[in-house]
Structure 1
Amino acid sequence: MTRIGAAVIGAGVVGLAVARRFARLGLETVIVDGEADFGTWTSARNSEVIHAGIYYPFGSLKAELCVRGKKLLYDYCYARDLPCRQCGKLIFAATPGQGVALDAILAAAEGAGVTDLRRLDAQEVRSLEPLLGCHEALLSPSTGIIDSHAYMQSLLGEAEDCGAQFARQSRVTGLSRRRDGWGVHIDGEAEPAAIASLVVNAAGLTAHLLARQTQGLASGHVPQVRYARGVYFTYSGRAPFSHLVYPVPVPGGLGTHLTLDMAGSARFGPDVEWIDEIDYSVDPARHVGFLAAARLIWPELEPERLVPGYAGIRPKLSGPGEPAADFMVSGPQDHGLPGLVNLFGIESPGLTASLALADLVAEKLGLGWEEDIDASR
């Protein structure tokens, strides 16, 4: 039977960052995913935004890892000439009454260690974005955008350069405890395909389902996960904006916002819809609601150019009307099982925090933190 140093389950951006981290430490690492390619779920269906860390409660993992991860991610991309741009973001109050929401955002950001936000009046906003009408706004200069596919390709390439292997179309359906590690079971097979000394469950939307099939893991260490689908509509044609533009947040998300890709194309979204099953469908009938939300940002946009784009799904640890939950990174110190880390609720800002999350996973397993993120090896 094959014995390996580490199995990373899930080839999304966090799983790839963890695998790269392990491989650089010299661990014989296998990335296992049920799909034919990497990053086909949550990691490929988001806004590709490098977040500044301004929305998350002081002391939370989201706040800590987003702020740390943002720096790591920019350094990583700049050192490798990967496509990214620190374009900045405007969070706008459409009416005077929404100024209170900006107050709360500013206070939370400063508490989380984000000290570069600037408050702008309507005239200052128009000097940056002439077509954005609002009462006032916050400017986040360290927010940016990234080509998430290029980033994931780089993570996988560096992991493979250090000896990691990518086991595609191999769905992990269970983990069994062994005297010398963890049995990794593929596609319901009774016998494990490999024995791994370390296992990281980074399966994203299905991490909780795999955790339920992990021998010895008490049910109290497996959270309830809810799915929140967010739909995006894209705009065919170049948008006259150079910054990302966000309204004040709404329950369950950050509101329908305008983001840009590396080519300058615009997309609006995501909205928030609570669903029970993984379903990426986009209903064209949602155009009416998206048009109304988009016109709050860009009143002059041409309606026929706003077309259905794609949908993403967030694995959330809190439901409608509940306080937003933190990331859950559960290691041996938490659940009592050696060599196992489970990651639950890794939604936004998971892309931004990916390298910092990889460090935290390594720390949970006693492997320490990485200091040379700028190096290609």
Structure 2
Amino acid sequence: MKSEKYDFDLIVIGAGMIGIAISLAYSKKGLKVLLVEKNSSFGTGISSRNSEVIHAGIYYPKDSLKAKFCRRGMKLLYDYCKQKRIANKKVGKLIVQTSSCQENKLREIYKNGLANGCNELRVLDQNDLNKLEPEVKGLNAIWSPNTGIVDSHSCMETMILEFEKEDGIVVFNEFLSNIDPTNAGMECSLSDSTIIRTKKLINSTGLQSALLTHCIKGFPKEKIMQISLCKGTYFGYSKPVPFSHLVYPIPNKEGLGIHYTLDLNSEGRFGPDTEWVHNENYDLNEARTEQAFIEIRKYWPKCDPSKLRPIYSGIRPKIGTKNKFHKDFMIQSSEQHNIPGLINLFGIDSPGLTSALALAEYLSDHYI
């Protein structure tokens, strides 16, 4: 029996927030796009296991991809939500200095934010901080009024529907385990032996981004990135938390620290913490609650540990190892690996949700 064959201008692998945004951006330019997802629905990986925060671009080094795409992405995401009537809210965020030894770090974060164009930031003293959040303990804080929250599931669903209206095609329950570069692009086969050919392919598989490169025939081994898995557990609180804004500690070397985020129902959670793991496993561990409480009470002394419990977890892909990891997004094109038409996206962790539309805009403008 002869296999069916279909031709596309672009195949995007991975239907999370990033992959969906990229597929939509290219389809709007008139390209024939196929979006392939290994799971039975969209956004079931990194995109559904995060804080759903729209970041302002404060922390990231000037001229980094994270700084560039986060700041632009914030505007694009708020605009898209307004246009499509997707639930979101600018609740604002406080980055809290809880000890005198953190003052220099707070000032560095503030200066970095200004360098990234976050001119709306303000430094608050203890009195002004407590006017916003009476129960937060802090000496000083950075106030970021543009930081917000979004219904990320509705956002992805809306983009999928718009993508399909642009004649884009989505295929679920498929993992392309055989990708063969050809003179005309790449050739792949689906599980039913259907052959799909494409001029370009974008690897947007998040945690599986390095694994997928092993499936590409002739991909240079020295260009395969090592991806480490950084798991984060989120904690619920059994009584209402008396915060009306997002509350963050001073960041640590592995992330933004155990912070408090609201959702659109005015409920909240603390997290994520940091745990390096070897496998994709979202099991919850009650024992992690004690350390989370120790971190939370630094900015909320009234926190009751008996009311904290783990509620869900997520995993962030880090390029490198626990002790030495790359802190920026990575776009790997043919300039690096010499396979025409192939783009690998590595290390797309936070602020990936905020950056998605800007990253899609950049790729569809530069790799057309």
Give the TM-score taking structure 2 as reference length. 0.95
Q: In structure 2, how many angstroms separate the alpha carbons of the residues matched to 1:283 and 1:194?
A: 43
Partner of 1:373: none
Partner of 1:349: 351
The Cα offsets for residues 167-197 of structure 1, whole Å up to 9 and x where unpaired, read as: 011112131112322112345x8x6631112
CA contact (8 A) 1:36 1:168 kept: yes
Residue 171 of structure 1 pairs with residue 160 of structure 2 = no
Partner of 1:34: 38
Cα 1:323/1:207, change in 2 over 3 Å: closer
Partner of 1:219: 221
Partner of 1:265: 267
Compare 20-29 and 47-56 and name the one that shifted more: 20-29
Query: Residue 111 of structure 1: CA displacement?
Result: 2.1
Equivalent position to 2:87, from 83, 93, 104: 83
CA contact (8 A) 2:181 2:339 kept: no
Query: Residue 40 of structure 1: CA displacement?
Result: 0.4
Q: In structure 2, how many angstroms separate the alpha carbons of the residues matched to 1:264 and 1:156?
A: 27
Q: In structure 1, how many angstroms separate the alpha carbons of the residues matched to 2:296 and 2:329?
A: 30
Matches within 5 A, 1:1-377: 1-186=5-190, 193-322=195-324, 324-365=326-367, 367=368
* Residue segments in structure 2 that go unaligned for 5+ positions in a row: none
Cα 1:104/1:331, change in 2 over 3 Å: same
CA contact (8 A) 1:13 1:152 kept: yes
Query: Residue 324 of structure 1: CA displacement?
Result: 4.5
Secondary structure of the 2:177 match is strand
Equivalenced residues, count: 364
Secondary structure of the 1:329 match is strand
Compare 130-139 and 294-303 and name the one that shifted more: 294-303
Q: In structure 2, how many angstroms separate the alpha carbons of the residues matched to 1:40 and 1:161?
A: 22
Q: In structure 2, how many angstroms separate the alpha carbons of the residues matched to 1:292 and 1:258?
A: 14
Cα 1:333/1:68, change in 2 over 3 Å: same
Identity of aligned residues (%): 38
Secondary structure of the 2:316 match is strand
CA contact (8 A) 2:319 2:325 kept: no
Query: Residue 237 of structure 1: CA displacement?
Result: 3.9
Q: In structure 2, how many angstroms separate the alpha carbons of the residues matched to 1:316 and 1:171?
A: 22
Q: In structure 2, how many angstroms separate the alpha carbons of the residues matched to 1:205 and 1:253?
A: 17
Q: In structure 2, how many angstroms separate the alpha carbons of the residues matched to 1:255 and 1:229?
A: 13
Query: Residue 305 of structure 1: CA displacement?
Result: 3.2
Q: In structure 2, how many angstroms separate the alpha carbons of the residues matched to 1:297 and 1:303?
A: 14
CA contact (8 A) 1:328 1:345 kept: yes
Q: In structure 1, how many angstroms separate the alpha carbons of the residues matched to 2:242 and 2:188?
A: 50
Query: Residue 312 of structure 1: CA displacement?
Result: 0.7
The Cα offsets for residues 332-362 of structure 1, whole Å up to 9 and x where unpaired, read as: 3333322211100000111000001111221
Secondary structure of the 2:243 match is coil
The aligned amino acid for 1:34 is K
